[in-house]
């Protein structure tokens, strides 16, 4: 099947079962500073899982583009990609486990006609430490479904992935219990890593068996669904989103039990084609085929396969990012666009694709030009290091070549190999690890302070951000739109479109506007309405073509009728701007350039 066919089949299937199909969200989350990219379909749904009413009702489905930066280094095998599309359906306090599992069975075996003999299931084995019980229901429902087609599905306890590898699968076993590391889902991972206020739940994953793949013992003595050898590939996850982590570390049941289902579209397509290699599906072959011609190399040639895969994934991801306005740069999201393109170029060189022919995308071409200049400088630096070091490139040098000159480690290794000198890879890895940990600390801090924590301070900053945007538009015109925000309990960082520096006297006026609205004790009133009507009424939004048909508009309105702000948003917000006054006066601390045509403001509340 083609990718577009499977996507359509799924969305039609969900629509027929009462779901409203909503557009996916942008790759850069609009109001979620907990993460740089949307990495799963549920991220934009978090408020609704926590209980806010979704304007489209209790059954929603979409196809969400996701980017997982952590997987960059994994790309090259048969199934890892950084960008993928996640097909998702959600029940916000509507149907639950049994219904979800039955629909999945129907979709996979009837709509996609996947062979049930090759379907394997995992379920949550419980977490004693966190006081979370084993899921007895999901395996029972699955067992009944298998039995309906004459398959006796045995249930087994695996525990951890490691134990699974030692134990393997016994005859007739098809449903496997694993621990929290495998069958628990939350944005923050396992139960103990979740901050208070974060929702999560046990899950039941579906795996497809690619019988052409022989288990390789380098991944463990025996094969099992969660083994990494590639024989079993996860094609979907049903999360029973029913718990909330509390301040004291225990879990309570959410008022509404939710379903959060996600399936990687590309993997599903590969399964329908019985191909264990996800890069054989149309969307990747469309990139690979022309490169085969330009390079004279073939994808089927194993020595080139990894390079073809890396380029196919990275180019597709980079071009999608560029489409969404994330141009290559040295900071935050744009840094990933840059890395993806640069890695593609290195691999295109390996394949012998002529310079400049990798992609027709303008931004990719511009980046290539710049990178080739950097490469030249890097090569000079490399030669200097080589002379200094004599026989070995130290880990630190390799690290500097990577961070300063954009030299991927493979390139350094290759150049060194040609000269018959070594590279201290162990030390390089250590330096990279240190670098990663530092950035992770940053990410964790963001997580705690994020808008999603719904703490009073963060919510206050979020409401203030709306007022600030309204103030900016009043002073600088309606051409100003939001380009992203990052809101923690300590400050708001806000990007908006404007081509020149905003002078201090203008910033003062914007501050006055925000503080004026705070002093007026304006109320925050939420309205649900038709998208077109919202647009006509002058509500502010930055992604009109991405919004669903029915939207939520947040109005900040004074008792005298003054409308201070009217903006599309998913919340949360304070009820009255009076709630902001206790944090002090709103102050714009800094205004600077963020990228071409985009300015960035940092603002805080200063206690009076």
Residues making contact with ligand SER (CB under 6 A) = 40-42, 88, 185, 237, 239, 260-262
Judged by beta carbon, residue 25 or residue 344, the one nearer ligand SER is: 25
Spatial separation of the C-alpha atoms in residues 361 and 341, rounded to whole Å: 11
Residue 546 Cβ, how far from ligand SER at the closest point, in Å?
19
Between CA 123 and CA 129, with CA 126 as vertex, the angle to 5 degrees is: 150
Cβ at position 262, least distance to ligand SER in Å: 2
Nearer to ligand SER, 19 or 261 (CB): 261
Count, residues in the chain: 608
- In the sheet with 523-530, reading across from the earlier edge strand, the strands are 523-530, 550-557, 563-568
Q: Tokens 């300015």 appear where?
A: 599
Closer CB to ligand SER, residue 268 or residue 588? 268
Minimum CB separation from ligand SER for residue 397, in Å? 39
Name the minimum Å distance from CB 24 to ligand SER.
13
Distance CA 297, CA 350 (A): 10
Of 240 and 554, which CB lies nearer to ligand SER in the complex structure? 240
Cβ 336 vs Cβ 69: under 8 Å: yes
> Closest distance between ligand SER and the C-beta of residue 291, in Å?
31
DSSP state, 503?
Answer: P
Q: In terms of CB distance, is 237 or 458 closer to ligand SER? A: 237
Identity of the residue, 88 or 165, whose beta carbon is nearer to ligand SER in the bound complex: 88
By C-beta, is 62 or 367 nearer to ligand SER?
62
Collect all residues with Cβ–Cβ distance below 8 Å to 403 and sequence separation of at least 6. 435
Percentages (nearest 5) of helix, strand, coil residues in the chain? 45, 25, 30
Helix, strand, or coil here: 201? strand
CB of 238 to ligand SER, least distance (A): 7
CB of 58 to ligand SER, least distance (A): 17
555 forms beta bridges with: 525, 566
Comparing CB distances to ligand SER, the nearer of 88 and 334 is 88
Q: How far is CA 370 from CA 147, 329, 359, 367, in A?
A: 60, 11, 15, 5
Distances (CA, A) of 8 to 26, 89, 557: 20, 14, 42
To ligand SER, the closest distance from the beta carbon of 38 in angstroms equals: 11
C-beta nearest to ligand SER: residue:
262
- Distance, in Å, from the CA atom of 84 to the CA atom of 426, rounded to the nearest integer, reads 31
Minimal distance in Å, beta carbon 29 to ligand SER?
14
Residue 57 DSSP SS3: coil
| Closest distance of CB 237 from ligand SER, Å | 4
Q: Which residue, among 354, 352, 367, has the nearest Cα to 318 in the 3D structure?
A: 367
From 181, 201, 194, 246, select the one nearest 448 (Cα to Cα): 194
Q: How far apart are CA 465 and CA 37, in angstroms?
A: 20
Tell how many helices (H) and how many strands (E) occur in the chain.
Answer: 18, 19
- CB closer to ligand SER, 261 vs 343: 261
Q: What angle do CA 299, 7, 227 make, to 5 degrees?
A: 60
Minimum CB separation of residue 44 from ligand SER in Å reads: 11
Question: What whole-number distance in Å separates Cα of residue 523 and Cα of residue 527?
Answer: 13
Minimum gap (Å) between residue 281 Cβ and ligand SER? 20
Counting Cα atoms < 13 Å in the Cβ hemisphere of 256 gives 17
355-361 contacts, C-beta under 8 A, 24 or more apart = 357/294, 358/291, 358/311, 358/315, 359/315, 359/319, 361/318, 361/319, 361/322
Q: Which is nearer to ligand SER, 182 or 297 (CB)?
A: 182
Q: Which residues pair with 84 in a beta bridge?
A: 66
CB of 197 to ligand SER, least distance (A): 17
Residue bearing tokens 């998208």: 531
Q: Does residue 389 sit in helix, strand or coil?
A: helix
Tell me the Ramachandran region of residue 61: left when phi exceeds 0, alpha when psi lies from -120 to 50, beta otherwise: beta
For 141, half-sphere exposure in the C-beta direction (CA atoms, 13 angstrom radius) is 18
Supply the minimum distance, in Å, between the C-beta of residue 439 and ligand SER: 22
| Closer residue to ligand SER in complex, CB, 261/338 | 261
**CB-wise, 261 or 309, nearer to ligand SER?**
261
Q: Provide the minimum distance between the beta carbon of 222 and ligand SER in the complex, in angstroms, as a whole number.
A: 25
> Residue 441 or residue 443: which is nearer to ligand SER going by CB?
443
Burial bucket for residue 258 (CB in 10 Å: 0-12, 13-18, 19+): buried
Alpha-carbon span 216 to 208, nearest angstrom: 17
* Closest CB to ligand SER among residues 256, 474: 256
- Residue 68 or 365: the one with the smaller Cβ distance to ligand SER is 68
Rounded Cα gap, residues 343 and 306, in angstroms: 12
């Amino acid at each position: 099947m083609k990718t577009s066919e499977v996507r359509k089949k799924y969305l039609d299937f969900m629509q027929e079962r009462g779901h409203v199909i909503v557009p996916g969200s942008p790759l850069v989350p609009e109001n979620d500073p907990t993460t740089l990219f949307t990495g799963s379909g549920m991220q934009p749904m978090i408020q609704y899982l926590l209980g806010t009413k979704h304007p489209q009702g209790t059954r929603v489905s979409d196809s969400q583009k996701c980017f997982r930066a952590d997987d960059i280094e994994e790309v090259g095998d048969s199934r890892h990609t950084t960008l993928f599309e996640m097909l998702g359906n959600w029940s916000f306090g509507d149907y639950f486990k049994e219904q979800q599992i039955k629909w999945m069975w129907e979709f996979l075996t009837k709509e996609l006609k996947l062979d049930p003999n090759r379907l394997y299931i995992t379920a949550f084995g419980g977490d004693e430490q966190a006081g979370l019980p084993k899921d007895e229901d999901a395996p029972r429902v699955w067992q009944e479904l298998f039995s309906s087609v004459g398959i006796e599905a045995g249930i087994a306890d695996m525990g951890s992935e490691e134990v699974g590898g030692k134990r393997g699968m016994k005859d007739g076993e098809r449903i496997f219990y694993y621990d929290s590391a495998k069958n628990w889902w939350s944005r923050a991972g396992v139960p103990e890593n979740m901050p208070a206020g974060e929702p999560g739940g046990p899950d039941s994953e579906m795996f497809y068996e690619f019988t052409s793949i022989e288990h390789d013992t380098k991944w463990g003595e025996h094969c099992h669904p969660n083994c990494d050898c590639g024989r079993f590939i996860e094609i979907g996850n049903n999360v029973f989103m029913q718990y909330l982590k509390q301040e004291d570390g225990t879990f309570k049941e959410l008022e509404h039990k939710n379903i959060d289902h996600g399936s990687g579209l590309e993997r599903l397509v590969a399964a329908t084609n019985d191909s264990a290699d996800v890069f054989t599906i149309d969307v990747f072959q469309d990139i690979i085929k022309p490169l085969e011609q330009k390079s004279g190399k073939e994808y089927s040639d194993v020595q080139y396969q990894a390079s073809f895969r890396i380029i196919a994934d990275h180019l597709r991801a980079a071009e999608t990012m560029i489409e969404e306005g994330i141009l290559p740069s040295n900071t935050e999201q744009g840094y990933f666009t840059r890395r993806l393109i640069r890695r593609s170029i290195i691999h295109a060189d390996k394949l012998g694709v002529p310079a400049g022919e990798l992609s027709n995308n303008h931004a990719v071409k511009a980046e290539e030009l710049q990178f080739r200049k950097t490469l030249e400088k890097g090569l000079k630096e490399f030669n200097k290091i080589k002379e200094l070091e004599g026989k070995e490139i130290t880990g630190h040098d390799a690290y500097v070549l990577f961070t300063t000159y954009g030299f991927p480690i493979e390139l350094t290794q290759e150049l060194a190999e040609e000269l018959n000198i070594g590279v201290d890879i162990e030390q390089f890895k250590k330096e990279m690890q240190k670098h990663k940990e530092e950035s992770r600390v940053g990410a964790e801090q963001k997580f705690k302070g994020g808008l999603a924590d719904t703490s009073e301070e963060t919510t206050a900053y979020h409401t203030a951000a709306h007022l600030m945007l309204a103030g900016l538009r009043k002073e600088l015109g309606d051409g100003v739109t939001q380009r992203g925000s990052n809101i923690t309990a300590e400050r708001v960082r806000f990007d908006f479109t404007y081509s020149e520096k905003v002078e201090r006297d203008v910033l003062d006026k914007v501050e006055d506007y925000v503080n004026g609205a705070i002093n007026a004790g304006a109320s925050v009133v939420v309205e649900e309405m038709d998208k077109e009507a919202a647009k006509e009424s002058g509500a502010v939004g930055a992604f009109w073509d991405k919004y669903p048909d029915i939207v939520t508009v947040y109005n900040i309105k004074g008792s005298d009728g003054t409308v201070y702000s009217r903006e599309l948003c998913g919340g949360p917000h304070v009820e009255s701007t009076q709630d902001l006054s206790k944090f002090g006066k709103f102050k714009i601390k800094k205004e600077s350039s963020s990228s071409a045509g985009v300015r960035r403001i940092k603002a805080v509340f200063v206690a009076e």
